Structure formats: C-alpha cells, structure tokens
Amino acid sequence: MSKSLVRTVDLIDAISEWTGRAIAWLTLGMVLFGFLVVVLRYLLDTGWIWMQESVIWMHALVFLIAAAYTLKWDEHVRVDVFYRGWTERKRALVNVLGALLLLLPTCVFLFIWSYGYVASSWAVLESSREAGGLPGVFLLKSSLLTMAALLGLQGIAELLRSVLILGGAWPPHEQPDTGSARL
C-alpha cells in the first residue's frame, strides 16, 4: 500500500514539476514582450493593445499555473519561526492539518466559486474589452480552474507524503530537497 502511495506522490510531483518548468518559460516572454512594448511606444511612438495584454496574460498564467510547483518545493510564504526547528514528524502533522483544514478546502472553494465565472465567460466566448485586444479571455479565465485543480492535486501529494512520514513509510532518500536551486 505504501509503495503505491509513494508512486502516487511521485506522479503528482512530476506533474507539478513539468507544469512549473514549462510555464516558467513565460517569464522570458514577459521580459521580451515588455521590452518590445517599451521600445515601440517610446522610440517608435507606436504599439498594439494585444501586445500589452499578452504581458498581463503571461504574468497571470505564471502565478496561477506555477502555484502547485511552488507548493511542491515548499517555497510559499510561511511564518516558520517554530516550524523550522520542529522534528520531521511534527512538521508532517502540521502539514496534514494544514492540508485538510486549509489548503484542500480552499482549492475546492476556488474551483466551485470560479466555475460559474469561467462558464459564463465561455458561454459568450468573452474577448478583450479593448479594441485590438486579445480574443479568448475565456481561455485565460479557465486558468483559475486549472490553478485550483493543480494546487489541489499537489496538496493531496503533500498530504500523502506527510501521512507516509507519520507512518514511517516515506523513503528517506526521497525527501524533497528544498535547499537546491530549481529551474
């Protein structure tokens, strides 16, 4: 049983790792498009709304889609004055409680709350309000559902990992390395 849970955690971690690394490339796009917008506007006195909006879209996608990746690497903001010095088992217990009482209910709430918002956008195939803006705003809004699902999935992986740690079944060599550089 514990081996299948470990494989499940590894699979979810791999999904979060892949999506985080893939979406990180949008940060390069943000820099390049942002630079291009500035050059076009201030040096050539021209520009396009769709280009400005694309920077905003990329920024939103990076923050929304990379949330699960950030959780996987334990890089979210936390006040860990006490947590840092606790034993691994005590931290695992706090993580179980946090996942069950805060993280997973929040992900479910965000998914349910966002669903109607996204569905109404899809119903009218919402586009930018600006002339010359990007079409497909409904696609961007769908990233709210994607974020809730991916973050919830990674939350389940963190919950299972903590349960395995509490049960003494998590392989010590597979502890996540939160101190190394990523990307």
pTM value > 0.85: yes
Counting the structural domains of the chain, the total is 1
* Residue 175 in domain: no
Q: Mean pLDDT across the stretch 28-45?
A: 96
CA distance 11 to 31: 32
* Residue 179 in domain: no
* Residue 178 in domain: no
* Residue 142 in domain: yes
Q: Mean pLDDT across the stretch 11-36?
A: 98
Cβ atoms 154, 12 nearer than 8 A: yes
* Residue 32 in domain: yes
Range of the domain at 95: 2-74+81-170
Cβ atoms 157, 16 nearer than 8 A: yes
Of 47, 159, 151, 73, the residue nearest 108 (C-alpha) = 151
* Residue 46 in domain: yes
* Residue 99 in domain: yes
Q: What is the pLDDT of residue 173?
A: 47
Interhelix angle 137-166/49-65, nearest 10 degrees: 20
- The per-residue pLDDT for range 102-137, each reduced to its tens digit, is 999 999 999 999 999 999 999 999 999 999 999 999
Asked if the model's pLDDT at residue 183 lies above 70, the reply is: no
